[in-house]
Chain A
Amino acid sequence: MNTAPAQGAVSGTTAGAPYVRIDRLTKRFGNFVAVRQVSLEIARGEIFCLLGGSGCGKTTLLRMLAGFETPTEGAIYIDGVDVTQVPPYERPVNMMFQSYALFPHMTVAQNVAFGLRQDGTPRAEIDSRVREMLALVQLDGYEKRKPHQLSGGQRQRVALARALVKRPKLLLLDEPLGALDKKLRERTQFELVNLQEKLGVTFVIVTHDQEEAMTLGTRIGVMRSGEILQVGSPSDIYEFPNSRFVADFIGSVNLTDGTLTEDEPDHVRIACPQLGGTVYVDHGVSSPPDAKVSVAIRPEKIQLSRERPEQPDNVLSGVITGIAYLGDATRYLVRLPTGFVLRVTAPNIFRHEERLGHDETVWLHWHPSAAVVVTR
């Protein structure tokens, strides 16, 4: 295959055409369907996060992009070329493995040079590109070390350098920060994004960590049972989940069932027996009347007060049954007269504040735009 390594990052595609196109991809292992009819388009220079729990098929999808698994049905196009049947060693794609998979018998420099040596790149060029790449990931001076002489964070950067040195059209990252501790993770997240912006390589990241997906991804695809439930920007996914599952999977949420009682183009009213009242939402829902729907309200969108707020709708009262002080915010559990418990998060704006206490009766209210109505 004539993938000149240099061509990856610079070759032209017509603007607007998807860079990676996944067309009705299905992968079956025996009777088990790991990935079901997934179609997806990823633009050049994007960081696309596949987010889902274990066994949702996200890793299988990634492995099909890398070429380690052959799809049962469907096709994969990269930069307009059908690569479905192309073996991994001929794909213009590189992967950063979850375990990093560094070659333990080779030095850092040899690990990074490995991919270039396979292409028969001239020695001088290999040396300069390896040096350049190690400088980029801030590992200059570590050329002669073996992987076992490095810390977890350094290994992660070697793995990244090794995957990026071939200037792939597409970089696949399998839980790239999974093996790092929390502090290092937060720092590395931003490094990763900076590096991606500098190099312009398209990233596809697999992760089970929603926070990681939110900070890294320009777009997120939420997966469950081999299917992609929703694709959108992090704020789309968080603010406008299209299903109970997505609403519940991303962040914390209060989910309750209800029936549409009033359905106008500019607002709807939903009777929620669990809340003991109706929820007013200031946007229309394309659903038949009397349809069973779910209402999702994020904890930080509910406000607490001792006085009854002056608004006609979306006001409830309850008793505080649990308080968790987190420093930046406080999390409350509020039991409604119906017995239903709502989660509420309030920012700690003032240092000296007469905080709400256990067993205190409080008023809850939220803005008409706060609640999201999902029909599945």
Chain B
Amino acid sequence: MNAAAERLYRGVRRLGGGRRPVGRWVVIALPYLWLAVFFLVPFLIVLKIAFANIQLSMPPVEPVLTWTADKVLQLRFHFSNFAFVFGDELYIAAFLNSLKVAGVSTILALLIGYPMAYGIARAPGAWRNILFLLVVLPFFTSFLLRVYAWLGLLGRNGPINDVLLALGLVHEPLQMLQTDFAVYLGMVYSYLPFMILPLYSAIEKLDLTLLEAAADLGCRPTKAFFTITLPLTKEGIFAGCLLVFIPAVGEYVIPALLGGPDTLMIGRVVWDEFFGNRDWPVASALAIVLLAILSGFVLLLQRVQAREGEA
């Protein structure tokens, strides 16, 4: 290296890492500050409400922090809300049903999404971008509008029933709205892109010569899919499943619009407690329990992945 280049190099190093630069901390601190203000603080408020008692006021909760008559700061936590949540079969059933609906939707999205992602990743160059765009295209319209659109499509006089009647496949319109079928359809439809995107990037990264190597060593294509392709795209599968499962468990709009009165999901229960019963503490307790369950899933998955990485 000549002298001039060396001087330049040292200069760049000093700028970059020699002195701890302020810029780096700003870049890291900004998003954390954002999360602290708009996620951590609201979360603490919800947590506080979950430990409070209901009372007729605005907001309709007792304060957790109070001053007693002799000027002593008093903290009062009520665990009754959690006891109530776990004691009531309705809430347990709502949780279990939410997990079931989200789980089944996730599996359906995976079964539909994997072949789609595979197809896109293996499509010739020019097609790949178009197909990819088509997957992202629904995001250009509001989520709410798209769910409302299903109301029209699935209705008694909707186009789907019209076609079925015209083809003579049914003799009277099918009741599709307000069924579990409509909820699953809405879930899979809405969350499919979240499944496809991580799967696509995982499959696209897969080195095709590995499949040739497998074939060369006597492995048939179907077996190669399960022994090579699937294990090597596992990260994408995990990521896709989390991205679908987590929002699906707490989903409110889809079961509220497409589901029937007996579609019991935790998102709706929280809504009803909050707005219907004005029982903020129970609604908050439900939200906290949901958060705990989902965090548990994420941690479990991370541990599984970490162990895979070590082995």
Contact = CB atoms under 8 A, between A and B. Distances in A.
Contact of B216 (A95, A103, A104, A105): A95
A68 interface: yes
A224 interface: no
Contact of A119 (B207, B215, B218, B223): B218
Interface in B241-261: none
A89 B216 contact: yes
A89 B220 contact: yes
A23 B289 CA distance: 72
A118 B217 CA distance: 7
Nearest to B219: A118
Contact of A105 (B214, B217, B223, B231): B231
Nearest to B210: A101
A57 interface: no
A114 interface: yes
A114 B215 contact: no
Contacts of B218: 89-90, 115, 118-119, 166
A56 to B, nearest CB: 20
A53 interface: no
Interface string B198-232: 00000000010110111111111101000010011
Majority secondary structure of chain B interface residues (helix, strand, loop or mixed): helix
- The number of chain A residues touching the other chain, given as a range, is 20 to 34
Contacts of B213: 95, 97, 101-103
Nearest to B211: A101
B209 to A, nearest CB: 4
A8 to B, nearest CB: 12
Contacts of B210: 101, 103
Nearest to B221: A89
B217 A162 contact: yes
Centre residue among A67, A89, A104, A166 by max chain B CB count within 10 A: A89
Contacts of A105: 231-232
B210 to A, nearest CB: 5
B217 A166 contact: yes
A166 B232 CA distance: 24
Contacts of A87: 215
B272 to A, nearest CB: 47
B73 to A, nearest CB: 57
Interface in A108-127: 114-115, 118-119
Interface string A195-208: 00000000000000
Nearest to A97: B209
A345 interface: no
B228 A103 contact: yes
Contact of B209 (A67, A89, A101, A114): A101
Centre residue among B209, B212, B213, B228 by max chain A CB count within 10 A: B213
Given A89-B220, A99-B207, A101-B207, A114 B212 contact: no
A23 to B, nearest CB: 23
A295 to B, nearest CB: 44
A162 B213 CA distance: 10
A90 B207 CA distance: 22
Contacts of B221: 89
A97 B212 contact: yes
B219 A89 contact: yes
Nearest to A63: B212
Nearest to B234: A105
Contacts of A232: none
Contacts of B209: 97, 99, 101
Nearest to A98: B209
Contact of A94 (B207, B217, B223, B231): B217
Contacts of A166: 217-218
A166 B219 CA distance: 13
Contacts of A163: 216
Contacts of A173: none
A123 B231 CA distance: 22
A67 B220 CA distance: 13
Contacts of A95: 212-213, 216
Contacts of A115: 217-218
Contacts of A103: 210, 213-214, 228
Contacts of A104: 232
Interface in A59-79: 66-68
Contacts of B215: 67-68, 87-89
A5 to B, nearest CB: 9
A163 B213 CA distance: 9
A85 to B, nearest CB: 15
Interface in A138-173: 162-163, 166
Contacts of A68: 212, 215-216
Nearest to B213: A101
A299 to B, nearest CB: 35
Given A97-B213, A99-B209, A102-B213, 10 more contacts: A88-B212, A88-B216, A89-B217, A95-B213, A103-B228, A114-B219, A115-B217, A162-B217, A163-B216, A166-B218
16 contacts: A67-B216, A68-B212, A88-B212, A88-B216, A89-B218, A89-B219, A89-B221, A94-B216, A101-B212, A104-B232, A105-B231, A114-B214, A114-B217, A115-B218, A166-B217, A166-B218
Interface of B: 207, 209-210, 212-221, 223, 228, 231-232
Interface of A: 66-68, 87-90, 93-95, 97, 99, 101-105, 114-115, 118-119, 162-163, 166
The 8 closest A-B pairs by CB, nearest first: A115-B217, A118-B218, A101-B213, A88-B215, A101-B209, A89-B215, A95-B216, A118-B219
